[in-house]
Structure 1
Amino acid sequence: MPVAEDLTAPVRERRLAPWRDGRGTGAAAHEHRLLTAARPALPWLNWVGTFAKPLLRVPRLGWITADPLTARAVLNDPEHFTLLSEGGVGHLWAQILGDWVYDLFDGAGHYDLRTRSRELFTEKTSVAFVATAWGDRMTRARASFEAGEPLDVADLSRILVGQMVVTLLGMHVPDATDETYRSIFETGEELAAIALGTTSDTVLPAEKIAKAREIVERLTGHIDASFATASSATVIGRCRDLGLSVRETKGLSTLLMVAGTETAASAMARTAALLFDTGEQNRLIEHPEFTEGAVREALRVTSPAPIIGRSVLADLEIGGRTLRAGERIVVLTWTANNLAGEYRIDRAYIPQNRQLWFGAGRHLCLGGPLARAELTAMVQLLVGDGRPFRVVSREYGKRVLIPAYRSLVVQKVGSRYGR
């Protein structure tokens, strides 16, 4: 049985544990280095967030919160908070995709869109998507990895995500190779990178808007011609079957590319690192029944999308503070999730955090079940044969939107190629 949360450690020790200064070789130190390499201000912001009890006002940034209950209250309150005004991701994407975003992302049409699309990713369909998209490639990776050959989990993750994009969007990619899928992943990465530097200002310059629209067309331009005949095994076909329009389908496809490429690849490689750095892989090998907990904990600790922005629509009192219309609030999801403690596969379910790594409320990540299925497949690849692995080398991604490993080479312990 999962053990209860240990609240006996001093509050200061528990509060500061995830924000060590990067010295050492433990999981917290590596996560600190990874966050710093991605966006140097992130560790500082995460540390400041520990003092947001439950809210703190930061010059130029606005209000911040790392309290999971306050975060959930914000994300579940469409009457007072929106992602469509300056400071929200909807405002950013409306500039790229068009004004229709204002209705479908958070307006009157959003509830209808969510209702019709909620069956896109169930636990069952997500497992099927993973099997269809990754089956052969995972079989080859497992064979070489279990034979003792080194495996770059970060690179494999990018290939797998590229394959998933092709499967979900029904893209015609004849004679595809690993390099083909890497290229598709990089296209999604390029689109997501448009959001770099928008933490404090979501107004995009004209050249960025033009570049983003060109990328979107590259990724979704085929949908116009394939929409009517797309297989129901693809997201395009399922969107059509659920009654979504071509425009809605292209918008959802774009969001899936942005929300599900870098975040998925980041989570997979960081999960491998966590299993090794914490030694939890050994307990997981002994207790495979904790696989679901291992995946949930990995999503909590990594929280690949570390911040969520909202704009204040109307004055309100929350957490003993008065927020005014037009102000901004940033939910520090990584901080809020990591305050619960370090990675532990048998950690009991934490009600106040729930799935905060996927957001909350009407904008809870639509692809959550798919992310869990992808991570589960990666965990099974790493320890499914009952033998541990070691990290041979690692390289942190620099100046990227989503903190991630650029390279994470692992190898089975005791193989003829390693120790």
Structure 2
Amino acid sequence: MPVAEDRSAPPRERRLSLWRDGLGTGAAAHEHRLLSAARPALPVLNWLGQFARPLMKVPRLGWITADPHTARTLLNDPEHLTLLSEGGVGHLWAQILGDWVYDLFDGPGHHDLRTRSRELFTEKTSATFVARAWGPRLAAARASFEAGDELDLADLSRVLVGQMVVQLLGLPVDDSLGDDAYREIFATGEELASIALGTTSDTTLPPEKIAVARGIVERLTGHIGEVFPTAHPDTIIGRCREIGLTVQETQGLSTLLMVAGTETAASAMARTAALLVDTGEQHRLLAMPQHREDAVREALRVTSPAPLIGRSVLADVQVAGRTLKAGERVMVLTWTANNLAGPYRIDRPYLPQNRQLWFGAGRHLCLGGPLARAELGAIVDLLLGDGRPFQIVSRRYGRKVLIPAYASLVVRKSEAA
């Protein structure tokens, strides 16, 4: 059944609704359990976040916020906040990729890199990437699904993401292995992303983790130097060369794509399917197909696959009436900030305060946003393209993973519309 949005409740009651709904039934309950299975501390942190509007200081974690306006203020202030010091993802990856990260991630070279790479993913190029990487596999899955076979969408999403990585990075793959080859590539990206597990309160990595991560990066990007001069422009490597990026910059971007675009994409695909069923919104979407793009945007808002964004304070700054001191940490609770707007609804009006906050904000807004939307749109078409609803047969939550996701989500077409 859909989760009702009680606008008549007092403000304090509305603040507590996310936590209460998570203990009940329906879409909110499944999202709550999925977050708990991934990282048990996440639901507690999200609950605290409901009171962090505009800001709240938490021992060991630093400042947290779940207020969209405050979040945007923080993420748009590179003069006072950075992701290169303790608490930021740049600090984490500099230890793995090298000191050049300090220039390109948030330093003097960042603006130049963003300017040159902003055309990597447009709505047009993203649609092309999806068609080329997924076309045959999606067609096969759709034919089987519409014929009445069960489909594990969580598994398919991992295969599809692996195929996208091959398409984007031009990775060599053994086609004789079939889907297993792409599952292995996804697992490699997942292994790299898992290096960040346990860094919520400390982004300094031990030497053994750094060594493991560097080995994974070499497996994923070691081929780039060799193929860089001749890579086809349809691959990210070729496009990076065409727009003037160096081999080192291309390797760095490729690594980030693996980390930022593998687990998050697979997570959003299966969770979108679950939302469509658990809220009953699939029936409204079938009746109002003009809301397809809105349904995709809403799915990204509600799932917010990257639930946290960290920064460190470079210099004392006043934000929302609070004084943030140099050296302190700030954490934007994106999942909470986005979900406080209400449950999943395909015709929800545009929310200017939340605009694309699931992709971050400011100079570090996710480059792959258009690709994520194209991928989710393709999944919605797979699920509902024949005009018939579907149902969930079984589900299993992923445990102890960086990005909350379904380990398995088996769906099939409903017998009756």
Partner amino acid for 1:33?
R
Q: Partner letter of residue 120 of structure 2?
A: L
Tell whether the 8 Å contact from 2:18 to 2:47 is kept in structure 1 after alignment: no
Contact 2:38 2:399 in 1 (8 A): yes
The sequence identity of aligned pairs, in percent, is: 77
Q: Is the 8 A contact 1:20 1:28 kept in 2?
A: no
Task: Name the SS of the counterpart of 2:354 in structure 1.
Answer: coil
Per-residue CA deviation, residues 244-269 of structure 1 (Å, 9 max, x unaligned), is: 00000000000000000000000000
Taking the aligned partners of 1:378 and 1:384, their CA distance within structure 2 comes to 9
**Structure 2 residue 209 is matched with structure 1 residue 214:** no
User: How far apart, CA to CA, are the structure 2 residues paired with 1:394 and 1:22?
Assistant: 17
**Is the Cα contact below 8 Å between 1:17 and 1:341 reproduced in 2?**
no
The equivalent of 2:100 in structure 1 is 100
- Output aligned runs, 1:41-52, within 5 Å: 41-52=41-52
Give the whole-Å Cα distance in 1 for the aligned partners of 2:157 and 2:116. 30
Moved more, 22-31 or 221-230: 22-31
1:56 pairs with 2:56: yes
In the alignment, structure 1 residue 135 sits paired with structure 2 residue 167: no
- Change in Cα spacing, 1:22 to 1:52, as seen in structure 2 (3 Å) is closer
Supply the distance in 1 between the matched residues of 2:144 and 2:14 (Cα, whole angstroms). Answer: 40
Q: Deviations over 1:113-164 (max 9, x none)?
A: 0000000000000000000000000000000000010100100000000000
In 2, distance between residues paired with 1:339 and 1:24? Answer: 17
- Distance in 2 between the 1:75 and 1:323 partners? 14
- SS class of match (2:330): strand
**Structure 1 regions of 5+ residues with no counterpart?**
none
Equivalent AA in structure 2 for residue 214 of structure 1: G
Partner secondary structure for residue 380 of structure 1: helix
In 2, Cα distance between equivalents of 1:336 and 1:32: 15
Q: Which residue of 2 aligns with 1:155?
A: 155
Unpaired runs of 5+ in structure 2?
Answer: none
CA distance in 1, matches of 2:203, 2:380: 36
Please give the secondary structure, in 2, of the residue aligned with 1:160: helix
8 Å contact kept, 2:6–2:14: no
Matched with 1:110 is 110
SS in 2 for 1:54: coil
Q: Do the aligned residues in 2 keep the contact of 1:168 with 1:235 (CA within 8 Å)?
A: yes
Aligned residues: 412
Q: Give distance in 2, aligned partners of 1:220 and 1:210.
A: 15
Query: Which residue in 2 is equivalent to 1:183?
Result: 184
Distance 1:352 1:323 in 2: 23
- Equivalent residue, structure 2, for 1:310: 311
Q: Distance in 2 between matches of 1:310 and 1:80?
A: 10
Q: Does 1:368 align with 2:372?
A: no
Say which SS state the counterpart of residue 203 (structure 2) adopts: coil
Please tell me the residue identity of whatever aligns with 2:110: H
TM-score when scaled to structure 2? Answer: 0.97
Cα offset for 1:304?
A: 0.3
Question: Deviations for 1:268-308, whole angstroms, at most 9, x for unmatched residues?
Answer: 00000000000000000011100001000000000000000
Name the TM-score, length of structure 1 as normaliser. 0.97
Corresponding letter in the other structure for 2:365: L
Letter in 2 for 1:231: H
> What is the CA–CA distance in structure 1 between the aligned matches of 2:16 and 2:144, rounded to whole Å?
40
23-32 or 265-274, which moves further after superposition? 23-32
Measure how far apart 1:55 and its partner are.
Answer: 0.4
Contact 2:15–2:51 (Cα < 8 Å) also in 1? no
Tell me which amino acid in the other structure corresponds to 1:274. L
Is the 2:52–2:67 Cα contact (8 Å) retained in structure 1? yes
In the alignment, which residue of structure 1 is the partner of 2:357? Answer: 356
Residue of structure 1 in register with 2:228 after alignment: 227
Q: Which whole-Å CA distance do the structure 2 matches of 1:349 and 1:197 have between them?
A: 35
Deviation at 1:169, TM superposition (A): 0.1
Change (3 A) 1:189 1:146: same
Is 1:248 matched up with 2:246? no
Amino acid at match of 1:58: V
User: Hey, what does 1:324 align to over in structure 2?
Assistant: 325
Q: Using the alignment, how far apart are the partners of 2:114 and 2:132 within structure 1?
A: 25
CA displacement at 1:22 relative to structure 2? 4.1
Asked if 2 retains the 8 angstrom alpha-carbon contact of 1:74 and 1:81, the reply is: yes
SS at match of 2:353: coil
Would you say the 8 A contact 1:20–1:32 is kept in 2?
A: no
Tell me the equivalent position of 2:258: 257
- Report the 3-state secondary structure (helix = DSSP H, G, I; strand = E; otherwise coil) of the residue aligned with 2:312: strand
Q: Tell me, what secondary structure is at the counterpart of 1:149?
A: coil
Superposed displacement of residue 171, structure 1:
1.2
* Counterpart position of 1:20: 20
Coordinate RMSD, CA, aligned = 1.3
Cα deviation code 1:66-95 (max 9, x no counterpart): 000000000000000000001100000000
